[in-house]
Amino acid sequence: MWVSTKAQYGLRALIEIARRDDEAVPLKDVAERQGISQHYLEQIASNLRRAGFIRSVRGAHGGYRLARPAADINAYDVVTAMEGSIAPVSCVENDHVCDNQNVCGTQDLWQRVDTALRDVLGGTTLADLIAESDRAQHARLVQIDPSYAGPLSR
């Protein structure tokens, strides 16, 4: 399975907006901070707004805010809003009837892959991604060079 940059950047933009939930976040700020083309991000934001993940705030301090709490937005919903189906093969898509299911031998495999994708993405919220990112950043900040003896070792 390949996740498009549209879905990847959509998630990154939502996380960036969610981190500053007290204020409306201009897309220019998100684009600069995330290293994403502002023009491309405007297209993505339009999709995110139509899908109900963000809302625009007009005015001098305008920008975007989440339309609902970060804990209520999961990665599966974002990815499918940006990409459509994420089924690994067409025979496991919703409402698809496979003509070869009696002779194929791989449908159960693809069904397990599809279920795993849905479980992982559906069980991961923006709040989870922010917490994971914060923990990883904290771990990077507190690592100490093992060769450093420091003033207490004397």
**Does the pLDDT at position 154 exceed 60?**
no
Sequence-ordered list of residues with C-beta below 8 angstroms from that of 80, at least 6 positions apart, any chain: 86
Q: Report which of 35, 39, 46 is spatially closest to residue 12, judged by C-alpha positions.
A: 35
Judge whether 75 and 125 are in contact, CB under 8 Å.
Answer: yes
CA angle 13, 14, 20 (to 5 degrees): 95
- What's the token pair of residue 77? 């919903």
CB 24 within 8 A of CB 57: yes
Looking at every residue in the chain, the average pLDDT score rounds to: 89
So what's the pLDDT on residue 105?
A: 84
Residues 45-103: tens digit of each pLDDT:
999 999 999 999 998 889 999 999 999 999 999 999 999 988 888 888 876 677 777 77
Residue 118 confidence (pLDDT) above 90: yes
pLDDT of residue 96: 62
Confidence at residue 39, expressed as pLDDT on a 0 to 100 scale: 97
